[in-house]
Structure 1
């Protein structure tokens, strides 16, 4: 009898959790469901940060595809040795996404070299000629290190979004090594009135925008303010404010 009672209690708790999660998910999607954006076949490549797995970029893809603002296109897995395997879910149309997931995901310089292989494969097999790039934390460093490397670039970057990333050691000379000029969105965050997001300092994030402007660029900068539940470093990739700012920048919102 007691055993059955425990089972019933657990069932009620589980059902309540499912309902709460469903309600929370719909709440997160609500701002996105009211938005319409322009359509393009230019894919957007998502790269997570240190020790990030698929989860860190899958949130963007799940929410934005559920809101019919993007289309889940490819997931690219890169092994520690640099071997690249690709899963295709849809043609690269209607604001397609490409997630790049590194097995060795805490050596940004090495990952930048592996990222070059990814871009070459995307250009050859999937005829990608232009792409947007979104990097969270050190994912931004991977993309930036690739872009400033003295190598051939078989596909041209269209727009770059850097989220909660810092760029120590970057100089004006480094910025001049970028292959071309392109729009940049730099997103930082601040927990209440602290100096940053608990992972990086806001001033360090904003320094990248300052360096770009000093070199003659015109970056857009957005600061997310909030509690640890919305503005903590690892929460940026599950923050609907970031989602909205991302699609506004990449595609332009239709009134």
Structure 2
């Protein structure tokens, strides 16, 4: 009896190991195929600083891996992480200058559940970049609530010196109220890319609806803003709300939009 139980347990562990290896191999193949266009491309030097704005309850892992991948693929040669404390103090790690090839700044908010405070801190940070580091042009890349923070920044009239926003990437975000009033203040020169996810059989990425993402696109187009839309459809590994910024197909779309 014990011998049969041991054989059954041994068979079960072998099966689980086989499934794990199969899943790992499938993930590796998916990543390699998705990364192929990135590795094959060269990127122009825009000198525009790209600022990554994470979402609700985020941390350095939201955009940190993406920024590292972009550096590895030679889309940039300057990467900086700026941690903003709850009181607004900035701690800068990585590059201290922003004059290289497509400089990237990964912003990390300590108080990542306070959108009004984060918008104020983002505004102060961009003013600091403009006045202290002579950053005159930026791109904004936001995930989820980070896209909404960036949108609020873009549709607010600023009284202090701010960089000019050239391009704006909205990743896994949607409007939660009528945006007509805000969109009247949106700079018409800004080019936008909207990215959403749809898990097979679901209505979106399990956090943001596909219909909401498309409403976002339509609202921007109606306001006369240059907009393109990309929907990644697949398994939760790539299409889930928090998986979209760890997705080589999404990487490729962002890189092409910003630097191709």
Distance 1:123 1:88, change over 3 A: farther
8 Å Cα contact 2:190/2:226 also seen in 1: no
8 Å Cα contact 1:74/1:99 also seen in 2: yes
Q: Which moved more, 1:218-227 or 1:82-91?
A: 82-91
Distance 1:114 1:91, change over 3 A: closer
RMSD over aligned CA atoms reads 2.2
Cα distance in 2, alignment partners of residues 193 and 119 from structure 1:
40
Say which SS state the counterpart of residue 113 (structure 1) adopts.
helix
Aligned position for 2:6: none
Cα distance in 1, alignment partners of residues 146 and 78 from structure 2:
19
Aligned position for 2:213: 205
Structure 1 position 44, deviation (Å):
0.6
1:114-125 pair list within 5 angstroms = 114-125=121-132
Cα distance in 2, alignment partners of residues 125 and 239 from structure 1:
34
Bigger radius of gyration: 2
Aligned position for 1:222: 230
Cα distance in 1, alignment partners of residues 237 and 209 from structure 2:
17
8 Å Cα contact 1:61/1:70 also seen in 2: no
Structure 1, residues 209-228: CA drift from partner, whole Å, max 9, x if none? Answer: 11111112231011110001
Structure 1, residues 40-75: CA drift from partner, whole Å, max 9, x if none? Answer: 211110111111100010111111111111234321
Using the size of structure 2 for normalisation, the TM-score is: 0.84
Of residues 51, 58, 70, the one that matches 1:52 is 58
Structure 1 position 86, deviation (Å):
2.1
Structure 1, residues 185-207: CA drift from partner, whole Å, max 9, x if none? Answer: 00011001310011111111111
Using the size of structure 1 for normalisation, the TM-score is: 0.85
Tell me the matched-pair count: 234
1:17-166 pair list within 5 angstroms = 24=28, 27=32, 29-89=35-95, 91-92=97-98, 93-152=100-159, 153-166=161-174
Say which SS state the counterpart of residue 71 (structure 1) adopts.
coil
Cα distance in 2, alignment partners of residues 95 and 209 from structure 1:
26
Structure 1 position 39, deviation (Å):
1.2
Gaps of 5+ in 2: 1-16
Structure 1 position 90, deviation (Å):
6.0
Structure 1, residues 100-135: CA drift from partner, whole Å, max 9, x if none? Answer: 110011122221111011001111222100000100
